[in-house]
Structure 1
Amino acid sequence: MGQKSFIFVVLLLLALIAGAGGVYAYDSSNSERMAEGVTVAGVPVGGMTTSEARAEVQEQVAAPLNRPIVIRRGEQRFTLSAQDADVSADVGGMVDEALRASREGNVATRAWRDATGGEANVRVKARVSYSKEAVQGLVKRVAKGVNRPARDATLDFPALTKVSSQNGLEVKTGKLEGNVRAALTRSGDRTIAIPTKTTRAKVTKQDLVEKYPTLMVVDRGAFRLRFYKNLKLQKEYTIAVGQVGLETPAGLYSVQNKAVDPAWSVPNSDWAGSLAGTVVPGGTAENPLKARWMGIYAGAGIHGTDDVASLGTAASHGCVRMAVPDVIELYEQVAVSTPVYVA
């Protein structure tokens, strides 16, 4: 090799060494700087130093997380503070991950990327922690404050006024919990509408007729028994009710049992005299339960009587007395479980 060739090779090697040294020096000087195209939790940090990136992520991601979560529906508001939710953003960990991704490859690939204006295309996801128990507690609190059970249509006794049903409201707790979890980890809007669903009543106003195919109302004050079919008055009967001290029990009952010419199990009461505690066969002169029996409550029932003069008065020992033809007529139309309202 000639002297000129040797000198050229030496100079070339020196240039390469100097260039490599420059590349290493450049790469070393950028060891704490993010590559272009890097984002942390959606925040662009390309070209920033780690300290600059931490400050930016702290401001854009961590600081907004200190705002409370607000759950709303109309005028109702429920809040969860960042302190109660124990919200924390791992700013340092996110930035460190971004820097590691920026430094992937070797000196040459990094230098080439920077020299040609290339980007790292790194997307570091948000690292936000919170208390799951606090979220679940908030959801339970919202459900307790918002949920409203459906109300079935009912009859208002003794007027038999139809009270309309009312739909209920129920919080979609699973969806709400998911929405709260998502809101806790984002820096945007932290107000959440309460997801709800309507619950339907099982009995509507139209269902009441079907629910009450037959019905009896005993009006003690007027000494009348009113018989209804499909909530329409069919007939009124004159009756006798319990005397003072032995009143016919007020309330809503139903026909418990029925009998033709029923036996009379005489109660152990002073008014029963010598018959107290005995059983008087049905159809006998001594048995005051004439023709038919419809038991309603604790020994009280509806039955026929031959003491027609007592009808229209408070004369019985607690039962409802009817004329024999009337009780036979009513008996044929009334089934066990028919509601009986005693007013």
Structure 2
Amino acid sequence: VGGIDVGGLDRGQAQDRVARELHSRLDQPIVVRAGRTTFRLTPRQAGATFNVRDMVDAAVARSRQGDIFSRTWRDVRGDSINTDIPASVTYSRLVLSRFVGKVEDKLDRQAVDAHLDFNDGGFTKVPGKRGVIIDSRALHNAVEAAIVGTRAASIAVRSHTTAPKVTMADLPRMYSTLITISRDQFKLRLFKHLRLDKTYSIAVGQLGYSTPAGVYHIDDKTVDPTWYVPHASWAGSLAGQTIPGGSPQNPLKARWMGFGGGRGIHGTADDSSIGSAASHGCIRMHVSDVVELYPHVPLNTPLYIS
């Protein structure tokens, strides 16, 4: 019964021997290995129990196979039936599922795409990383077999790697146009396919109206933009008015490239403000510079402000 010899024993003796020897197997270690990382489980921790009575009953029934004459003849000759009743084990499927899940949580690693790490006025190209996905079904089956077999086991985790969707070679194509702005340096840099194309001097937001740092996208473009004057104290008598493009009262000169829900890159008539913190949150440029820049910046161009 379960690999334990119960020949010559009565039902009670057989149950005692099977229970004693099988239950000692419940602490056999099941070790799951992935490189230097190991996970341990025992059949007892998995809630494994033996149906000793059913196993012995099956052995007794097997010993009584045949008719009365064949059984009597076996008794006369002292013969025995050589057979093995497999161990009948129940266990907690929830514990097994959680154990496999713990291994997955520890070992599974999603692939990381190559990307740009933005820094002061520039960026660093960061290579992607391959991911690792374990074969959870194979692991589940192997651990289950070890639990049911109540045996020590060393199980190697099977896994496969996954490639990142974006590689270093893809980045120049993804960033065919990129703008970075350094507020400290008062510089706007235009990159084409991640190569510096042109650097422009700019003005940024003044104290209390700072140009916010972050990653944005150019979401609208206009030639000779209309100025919708905000209801703000600094706007004075113009607050709430609509000033048409090209008007002397309109500070948004020549071109507008909007980002971040209301802010934008535009020309200015106040050339002396370039190279300082002077605006109310927008990026000012010399008119000639913003006119030159405008056709080289398509909609959705990423914009990083440091």
**TM-score interval w.r.t. the shorter chain?**
0.7 to 0.9
SS in 2 for 1:177: helix
Q: Does 1:126 align with 2:87?
A: yes
- Kept in 2, the 8 Å contact 1:219–1:342? The answer is yes
- Which residue does the alignment assign to 2:38? 77
- Kept in 1, the 8 Å contact 2:108–2:133? The answer is yes
- Kept in 2, the 8 Å contact 1:66–1:81? The answer is yes
TM-score normalised by L of structure 2? 0.87
- Which residue does the alignment assign to 2:131? 168
Q: Does 1:149 align with 2:116?
A: no
Q: 1:208 aligns with which of 171, 193, 210?
A: 171
C-alpha change, 1:56 and 1:198, in structure 2 (3 Å) is farther
| More helix by percentage | 1
Q: 2:27 aligns with which of 52, 66, 72?
A: 66
- Which residue does the alignment assign to 1:102? 63
C-alpha change, 1:196 and 1:148, in structure 2 (3 Å) is same
Counterparts of 1:307 and 1:44, CA distance in 2: 97
- Kept in 1, the 8 Å contact 2:46–2:92? The answer is yes
SS in 2 for 1:341: strand
User: What are the equivalent positions in structure 2 for 1:29-40 lying under 5 Å apart?
Assistant: 40=1
Deviations 1:202-250 (A, max 9, x none): 3222222222111001112222111011111111112122222222221
- Which residue does the alignment assign to 2:199? 236
C-alpha change, 1:241 and 1:114, in structure 2 (3 Å) is same
- Which residue does the alignment assign to 1:309? 272
Structure 2 residue identity aligned to 1:270:
S
User: What are the equivalent positions in structure 2 for 1:1-343 lying under 5 Å apart?
Assistant: 40-41=1-2, 43=3, 45=5, 47-50=7-10, 54=15, 57-58=18-19, 61-111=22-72, 120=81, 122-158=83-119, 159-343=122-306
Give 1:127 deviation, angstroms.
Answer: 0.4
Q: How many residues align?
A: 303
Structure 2 residue identity aligned to 1:49:
L
Structure with the greater alpha carbon radius of gyration: 1
SS in 2 for 1:227: strand
Unaligned runs of 5+ in 1: 1-39
Structure 1 residue identity aligned to 2:236:
G
- Kept in 2, the 8 Å contact 1:66–1:87? The answer is no
SS in 1 for 2:170: helix
Q: Provide the aligned C-alpha RMSD in A.
A: 2.6
Structure 1 residue identity aligned to 2:126:
V
SS in 2 for 1:322: strand
SS in 1 for 2:45: helix
> Which 10-residue stretch deviates more, 171-180 or 220-229?
171-180
